[in-house]
């Protein structure tokens, strides 16, 4: 923590020195320039204060967990368990408060973790879930300044109309609705000023935080996981790459599958910190599903069928992205998923994407085929080819994970309908997997699998919440057949 704070202070000191030089050069010039220097100095001071505060909060959290591990050796198991529950509650609250107050990578990582009930205690999930809607909007003056600086023209020349109230505010940027001069409705995503430096500093602090806890955590490939999270959060700062990924998946669905809709980027109105796409009308997917869920559970067959159709379409869209397109949106939280008035599924925000090369896709398809045929020897071989490694070198833990994740698909092949497991069943499986991990930890993971697992774990939260009756023959089988045929040609 001290190393990270000193690095931050050093960076800020050099920035202050540059500002001082600039101030001396422009001394005596216009009042407006003097105010600009004053504003930049104030901003640097605020960043130093923010880095110090967040670093100390993380250090306090890490110290609390390390001290608990030490103290547990001298107290009863029951007392230690109660103390750990209180510590989880206190630290979850601290992390939420610092994330909500300062944003940046803390908020983004908190949002990602809020969907991972499989790896975090319930009290952490409850606190982090509040971060989904916690990002404060930036002022319209700041939005205008970023757009005009990035695109090099006045806002009125770029857009016929521009709604000053944001449609959504996130940790990296916020989205406004606008209209182009040819009458096209568009969504304009604008990056928060100074967010690049802030995110990178936050990620250094978070990396040190996890490293400090590693001795207290179960064995695992934390370097790969941390590296992958770091890369994906930084990727969200690259708007040109996001535009390219959005276009690639949009064209894929238009040309080869009408499963889902993806907005189309408008290059003339996009830059390094501004991304403009066609506007996609629709409601947040959980709002639509919540409205259907009550009637569906009360016996309304049409409502249940619509819930199942929407979630089946969503699953199919992600299977097609992963197994056919090789490029997939990797942050499918409900805010990035819409349902149009016509019932189409819309996927937004390709700032975080995963990619899967044809050879890797062929291996995952082969692994799935071996699982469906219950060919354990073939599965063990493919696990090694993909890069999975256990501490013992055996593959029993990996087979247990495959059974937990894919059993419903194997059962659905015979039954025709794919039913998601209940929360109780998921809990039982999780306890079993924890036992397997404790006996033989997974110490090596392929990087692309982390993204895939994150995507389907997040989607799994929706399935377990609404319990759809998924039509295997309609939404899953055609994708798998196409993937197998494609893999045979690799």
Do 306 and 292 touch, CB atoms closer than 8 A? yes
Q: Which long-range contacts (CB under 8 A, 24 or more apart) does 136-140 make?
A: 136/103, 136/169, 137/166, 137/169, 137/174, 138/169, 138/174, 138/190, 138/192, 138/193, 140/164
Give the pair of three-digit tokens for residue 297.
């559970």
For β-strands 274-278 and 327-329, DSSP reports them as: unpaired
What is 341-384 written as a DSSP string? TTS-EEE---SSEEE--HHHHHHHHHHHHHHHTT-HHHHHHHHH
Distance CA 107, CA 110 (A): 5
Residues 331, 349, 448, 471: which is the catalytic one? Answer: 331
Q: In terms of Cα–Cα distance, which of 225, 115, 109, 110 is closest to 458?
A: 115
Do 171 and 335 touch, CB atoms closer than 8 A? no
Distance CA 365, CA 319 (A): 11
CA 376, 381, 384: angle at the middle one, nearest 5?
125
- Coil, strand, or helix at residue 161? strand
Give the pair of three-digit tokens for residue 113.
């973790």
- What DSSP element (H or E) covers 91? helix 77-102
- Coil, strand, or helix at residue 179? strand
- What DSSP element (H or E) covers 188? strand 185-191
Do 162 and 176 touch, CB atoms closer than 8 A? yes
Distance CA 427, CA 423 (A): 6
Q: Is 377 exposed, middle or buried (0-12, 13-18, 19+ CB in 10 A)?
A: exposed
The set of residues, in sequence order, having a beta carbon less than 8 Å from that of 194 and lying 6+ positions away, is: 43, 47
The set of residues, in sequence order, having a beta carbon less than 8 Å from that of 456 and lying 6+ positions away, is: 318, 405
Angle of helix 222-235 versus helix 195-213 axis, rounded to 10: 170
Distance between start and end Cα atoms, the chain:
47
331 labelled catalytic: yes
Please give the positions annotated as active site.
Answer: 331
């Amino acid at each position: 923590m001290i190393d990270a704070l000193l690095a931050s202070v050093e960076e800020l000191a050099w920035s202050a020195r540059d500002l001082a030089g600039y101030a001396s050069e422009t001394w005596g010039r216009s009042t407006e320039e003097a105010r600009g220097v004053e504003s930049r100095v104030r901003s640097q001071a605020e960043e130093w204060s923010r880095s110090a505060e967040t670093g100390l909060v993380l250090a306090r959290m890490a110290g609390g967990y390390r001290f608990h591990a030490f103290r547990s050796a001298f107290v009863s198991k029951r007392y230690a368990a109660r103390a750990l529950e209180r510590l989880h509650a206190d630290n979850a609250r601290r992390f939420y408060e610092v994330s909500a107050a300062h944003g940046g990578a803390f908020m983004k990582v908190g949002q990602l973790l809020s969907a991972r009930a499989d790896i975090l205690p319930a009290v952490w999930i409850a606190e982090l879930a509040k971060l989904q809607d916690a990002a404060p909007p930036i002022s319209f003056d700041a939005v205008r300044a970023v757009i005009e600086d990035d695109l090099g023209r006045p806002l009125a020349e770029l857009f016929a109309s521009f709604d000053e109230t944001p449609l959504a505010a996130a940790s990296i940027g916020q989205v406004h609705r606008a209209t182009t001069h040819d009458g096209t409705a568009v969504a304009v995503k604008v990056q928060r000023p100074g967010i690049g430096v802030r995110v990178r500093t936050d990620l250094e602090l978070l990396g040190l935080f996890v490293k400090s806890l590693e001795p207290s955590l179960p064995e695992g490939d934390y370097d790969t996981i941390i590296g992958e999270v770091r890369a994906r959060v930084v990727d969200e700062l690259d708007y040109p790459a996001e535009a390219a990924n959005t276009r690639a998946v949009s064209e894929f669905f238009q040309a080869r599958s009408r499963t889902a809709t993806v907005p189309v980027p408008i290059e003339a109105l996009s830059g390094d910190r501004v991304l403009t796409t066609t506007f996609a009308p629709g409601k947040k997917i959980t709002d639509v599903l919540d409205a259907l869920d009550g009637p569906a559970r009360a016996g309304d067959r049409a409502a249940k069928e619509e819930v199942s159709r929407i979630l089946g379409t969503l699953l199919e869209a992600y299977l097609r992205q992963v197994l056919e397109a090789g490029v997939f949106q990797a942050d499918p939280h409900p805010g990035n998923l819409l349902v149009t008035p016509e019932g189409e599924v819309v996927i937004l925000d390709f700032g975080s994407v995963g990619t899967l090369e044809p050879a890797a896709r062929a291996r995952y398809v082969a692994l799935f085929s071996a699982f469906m045929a219950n060919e354990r020897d073939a599965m063990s071989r493919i696990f090694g080819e993909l890069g999975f490694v256990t501490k013992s070198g055996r593959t029993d833990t990996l087979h247990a994970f495959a059974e937990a994740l894919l059993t419903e698909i194997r059962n659905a092949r015979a039954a025709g309908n794919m039913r998601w497991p209940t929360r109780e069943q998921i809990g039982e499986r999780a306890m079993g997997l924890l036992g397997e991990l404790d006996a033989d930890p997974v110490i090596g993971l392929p990087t692309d699998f982390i993204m895939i697992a994150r995507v389907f774990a997040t989607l799994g939260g929706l399935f377990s919440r609404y319990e759809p009756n998924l039509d295997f023959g309609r939404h899953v089988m055609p994708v798998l057949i196409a993937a197998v045929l494609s893999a045979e040609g690799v």
